[in-house]
Chains A and B, each alone.
Chain A
Amino acid sequence: MGFGLYIHWPYCRRICPYCDFNIYRARALDETAWRQAFLAGLDHALRLVGPRPLRSISFGGGTPSLMPPSLVAAIIERAALRFGLEDDAEIALEANPGSADAARFADLRAAGVNRLSLGIQSFDDGALSALGRDHDAAAARAALTQAQAIFPRVSFDLIYGLPGQSRADWRRALDVALACQSGHLSLYQLTIEPGTAFARAAARGRLALPDEQRRADLYDVAQERCAGAGLDAYEVSNHAAPGHESRHNLIYWRSGDWIGLGPGAHSRLTLDRRRLALTEHRRPEIWLDAVARARSGEVECETLSPAQHASEILLSGLRLGEGIALKRAEDALGAPLGAFLDQARLATLVAAGLVQGDAERLRVTATGRRVLDAVLAELLA
């Protein structure tokens, strides 16, 4: 299933009003300290898991396109040295159109990045300013064209379900997106996360969000349009032409093993048949400090019980069109996945056409996927 490495870069130029990632305003920083911290983190990880070739490295954030390309290069180099890379390893990085120029892209490409995912969010200036973004539509398009010229694989993100957005608006936006995509799209329905500026505005009634009917309709529009363009909805919010899926994200959804380094990053590792969930310190200064002193930024290491592991397999795997491979789940759990499910409820959900299963796989239908969270709450025994 492959082994992945995630690098978290916690800085952004400006904090978007909807975003609740572990992020901080960018400021002058000590590149050497960060370099030493990430490299030390990699060395520590090697001691923990031993050499095991990486299928993917993913730089996320935050805005990792703000990272000095030399730092990106150093991390890739050390990871390849310590763990080794699979032949066609994916090395992905998230970029903001506001911090993108051809030279930087070229440096990142030279450092080894072979997949870029660009936070376009919208092709509409009004929507972009409503989202508090620091770029306009023209900049986004320009960044996309450049990226497509430089990186072998390029994806971009759009956010929909904005206040006032109609089905027709969204259809038009999708037409633009589908015309300039190159194999992969992430379409995220706007989520109002607690503690964000949008959450405060919504609480004061200043955000006219679409109701559930509209949200369902917009979701359906995205499914139809992408399917029509030959992009498979291989995950709830991700659409790809065959072979263009994000290999790194598939590791998450298939409950594989990955190492997460950087402030607030999470890891999942299977060691001695135990499923470990590790977490790094959230605050950048504390994380840096911890790595400098203890060679590791780890703040918590939890051994998941089989039931907890089963919940994770279920909540991640059912997001995928391919569903869950039952044999693999059984190997990981030491017991059939079915033992962790409410069988009576499962039968009802199957009868209702929300869930499908055969001897090899368990998956949700298209209808089931739209209400997956409610399905999950029912399924778990």
Chain B
Amino acid sequence: MTPRARIRNFAIIAHIDHGKSTLADRLIEACGGLEAREMREQILDSMDIERERGITIKAQTVRLTYRARDGEVYQLNLMDTPGHVDFSYEVSRSLAACEGAILVVDASQGVEAQTLANVYQAIEANLEIIIVLNKIDLPAAEPDRVRRQIEDVIGLDASEALLTSAKSGQGVPDVLEALVHKLPPPLGDPEAPLTALLVDSWYDAYLGVVILVRVRDGVLRKGMRVRMMAAGTAHQVETVGVFTPKPIPIEALGPGEVGFLTAAIKEVAETRVGDTITDDRRPTAEPMPGFKPSVPVVFCGLFPAEASEFGHLRESLAKLRLNDASFVYQPETSVALGLGFRCGFLGLLHLEIIQERLEREFGLELIATAPSVIYRCHLTSGEVVELHNPVDMPDPTRTAFIEEPWIKATIMVPDEHLGAVLKLCEERRGIQRDLTYVGNRALLVYRLPLNEVVFDFYDRLKSVSRGYASFDYQLDGYVEEDLVKLSILVNGEPVDALATIVHRARAEARGRALCERLKDLIPRQLFQVAIQAAIGGRIVARETVRALRKDVLAKCYGGDVTRKRKLLEKQKAGKKRMRQVGEVHIPQEAFIAALKVESK
């Protein structure tokens, strides 16, 4: 155990892509945490999907041993965090385990929306902040301008901001010195009963369920029996260790130290992030405050492309959840799509990532239904129900009113793209709350319905601003709105998987656009297909796919038989992947493409 005075715990926070993970690489290298041959870029982004997309999804912790210029040896616990909005809860957890934070700002881009969101969290958590202006090797770097920006917008003193290039390693030694001299050591009492924060937990193929802890008081030792206070369970500690970033077993973790433990725990779901871990024999009287659980905000149905894959999907979801307890799922039955699951996610990127992992790591092919937010439905009976699925929308006659979740969005955008961004926000029913300038960048605050954002807002924002706008949001209450269920009927039968909840003012246009799109996607068949969009009982749009009139091979002699048989076999396989509503075969592309319909 290291004396508290020589421990420093810090998180690296920044807007997406400003260089957190790359800076972490340099710090690990400078402390000799890995040998040169073990090193690779963004070493802490260990999941395939992180490496491919070049983003951090999961926060990572590393213990470094640093010999400072004063000759003392320090234990540094570094936490690399994700920058994307969907994963901001990862940041908040990491901050709770630290005394300080390195705020990385790309010196060529300056302050962005998530810089603000993350730094405010750090300030609120009372952390000491070291400002690092990164990417100064870039010709476009303007450290002076960015320094002023930080002072103007965030109100932090940036005069001592450090300049680095995480790429070349320039400035990194100063960062290490600043960590040692500017950050306070942790507090804590080694004699007090064990009190440790359960920061995170995940499933590791070799270690099983791994629990990341930060010890406040007392000592966590291998072999001791610990109690999870909120979960009310007790476990024998099998290993105690630290990541260097390789997992290394050690004897014990003392006050202020960060590390992991394993016990015979089968599922991540048995652990609660934010729980207090204490000594089962000598428990602490007072649990730590913990943190708010992460809540899923976006829901969609996931169905196997082939119905027979349902069991495989169920097992795969269970396995994925071992690693990521932040998504939730429960079985759902759709008339059109069969058996599947209703799943909840932290945001659209999270949804995309889970879907991609299911497809890649488990070889599944999926159909996802339109993402939906959680509506609050106030019934005439006074009861309030939460709607995760448009299909469950109660009958209008039983509904007093419906509320939808809104968000407060912070958008930073260069002046020249402001007009386009304002237009986008207005189109999405946004209400402007604030517009200030930081140099030539506008800082916009908007209130927006979450529903308008989960669809494709982020992509549209990036495209209307040529990639220059950045975005962050927080949930900001529920608002009563005139919302209706838009149903799609095929030959008079509602296709549940195509139902959506939309604002009444937009419903007709969206209904028309959907019908037109479906008309192109549903192949002509033996019978005429009527595609209708309906709000309540009222049909608002209709398209027809005419029945086939002529479809027969002209010649079929001896040699053609094999060819035709093989074609039929292929069609049969294709038919299995289609969904049947009444007499109508609907190809799965129809369900996927329907999500991308823009109502004009």
Contacts and interface: CB of A to CB of B under 8 A. Distances in A.
Q: Which 6 A-B pairs have the closest CB atoms?
A: A216-B550, A216-B549, A372-B552, A188-B554, A266-B559, A189-B554
Contact of B565 (A22, A237, A315): A315
Contact of B551 (A188, A258, A268, A372): A372
B562 A266 contact: yes
Given A319-B556, A372-B553, 7 more contacts: A188-B555, A252-B557, A308-B565, A311-B569, A312-B561, A375-B526, A378-B526
Interface in A243-272: 249, 252-253, 258, 260, 264-268
A46 interface: no
Interface of B: 525-527, 548-559, 561-562, 564-565, 568-569, 571-572, 575, 583
A190 B525 CA distance: 22
Contacts of B558: 6, 252, 258, 260, 265-268
A174 B568 CA distance: 33
Interface of A: 6, 22, 60, 188-191, 212-213, 215-216, 219, 236-237, 249, 252-253, 258, 260, 264-268, 277, 279, 308, 311-312, 315-316, 319, 348-349, 352, 354, 369-378, 380
A191 B555 contact: yes
27 contacts: A22-B559, A188-B554, A188-B555, A190-B554, A212-B550, A215-B549, A215-B550, A216-B549, A236-B554, A236-B556, A237-B554, A252-B557, A277-B562, A308-B569, A312-B561, A312-B565, A315-B561, A315-B564, A315-B568, A349-B526, A352-B527, A371-B526, A371-B548, A371-B552, A372-B551, A372-B553, A378-B526
B561 A266 contact: yes
A371 B549 contact: yes
Contacts of A216: 549-550
A316 B568 CA distance: 12
A374 B554 contact: no
A238 to B, nearest CB: 10
Residue from the set A190, A352, A373 with the largest chain B CB neighbour count within 10 Å: A373
Contacts of B564: 315
B553 A373 contact: yes
Nearest to B564: A315
Nearest to B582: A348
B570 to A, nearest CB: 10
Given A266-B558, A348-B583, A236 B553 contact: yes
B553 to A, nearest CB: 6
B559 A374 contact: no
Contacts of A378: 526
Contacts of B556: 236, 252-253, 315-316, 319
A369 B561 contact: no
Contacts of B548: 212, 371, 374
A370 B552 contact: yes
Nearest to A186: B555
Contacts of B572: 377, 380
Contacts of A260: 558-559
B525 to A, nearest CB: 7
B130 to A, nearest CB: 64
